[in-house]
Structures are given as C-alpha cells and as structure tokens.
Amino acid sequence: HYSFFDGMPRWPEGTEELTYAFDPDNSLDDVSKSVFSNAFKRWAEVTTISFRETSSYRTADITIGFYSGDHGDGEPFDGVLGTLAHAFSPTNGMFHLDQAEDWVATGDVTKASVSNAVDLESVAVHEIGHLLGLGHSSVEEAIMYPTITAKTRKVELTQDDIEGIQVLY
C-alpha cells in the first residue's frame, strides 16, 4: 500500500504546472533529457499536474543533477550501486543522481554488458514519486516499492501508485 511523507507535504493546491531544470554544470545529452521527460509524463497522465523543462535553473521548481560523493546536502553518494539517487519531499524539488552508476538511458537494460547497469527511467519515475510527495509502498509491483534489482526496467505506474498520487493531486 502507498504512503506519504510525515505531515503529507504536497505541492500547493492549484498547482497546474511544475518546471524542471538540469544542473547547467552537468552536460546532459538529449537522450537522457528525453528519458526524464518520459518519466514526468507518466505522472502527468494520472494527475492534474503537467511538467515543463526550463533553462532557468535557479527558478525551476524541480532541479535535477548528477553528482558524486559528498555534494553538499548532507547525503553523500556511495559509489557504484547502494544509493542510486535521492529526491526530497515537496516542495524542496531537489532530485540528485549518483554519477558513479552505469546509467542506461537507451536500449534494453537487461541486455547491458555490465552487471551493475541501472535503468535511468526506472529510477526517475520512482524519484519523481518522492518529489511529488509519495513515500514507499508495500506493494512489490509498485513503482514506489523501496527496492529494485540491478538490470531491471520498471517504469509502469501500478494501480497502487496511481491511487496514492491521486490522493494528493
């Protein structure tokens, strides 16, 4: 079953659009950007919120960046596997990914040559759930279930994810 953060934080009532921006210090290719765009679309389809990329990093609602190790928010990344990414509850908007991972943005992650390949869209869909206010779910098939196996692709929202997010938006 879905859960929320303590106090059930959410983006303000009436929020129709959230903007997101990529850290200009990362140089992200268009393929990776489209993976994030797809991940946002999955949540937009089941809520009243839409998402738009902006180049104004400092004023974006949601900021996305790849970092390694200690990157200044008290939650250092740990190198290959372990923590892959983290996102904070509303309305913080920070979405950080561990640069050390072997991110797979295209193609079939299950056929990746390295054993530690991580599917970018799978992680993005999960972290966007957190950014919007969902905690973890006890339903194993749910996007918000707290574990994922390496080299797995899991990007489809389940009924549990949808019911949870529709409590908020």
* 3-state DSSP assignment of residue 110: helix
Q: CA neighbours within 13 Å on the CB side: how many for 77?
A: 20
Say if residue 144 carries a ligand binding annotation. Answer: yes
Query: 130 or 151, CB closer to ligand TQI?
Result: 130
Q: Please check whether residue 96 is in contact with residue 73, taking contact to mean a CB–CB distance below 8 angstroms.
A: yes
Residue 42 interaction partner, one of ligand TQI, Zn ion, none, beta carbon < 5-8 Å per kind = none
CB of 161 vs ligand TQI, minimal distance in Å: 12
Distance between CA atoms of 74 and 8, rounded to whole angstroms? Answer: 23
CB 128 within 8 A of CB 145: no
Instruction: Say whether 127 is catalytic.
Output: yes
Nearer to ligand TQI, 76 or 135 (CB): 135
The angle, 0 to 180 degrees and rounded to 10, between the axes of the packed helices 120-132 and 30-44 is 50
For the bound state, the minimum distance from the C-beta of residue 167 to ligand TQI, rounded and expressed in Å, comes to 17
Tell me if 25 is assigned to a ligand binding site: yes
Of the residues 83, 91, 92, 99, which one makes contact with ligand TQI according to CB under 6 A: 83
Site residues, Zn ion (CB under 5 A)? 73, 96
Catalytic residues: 127
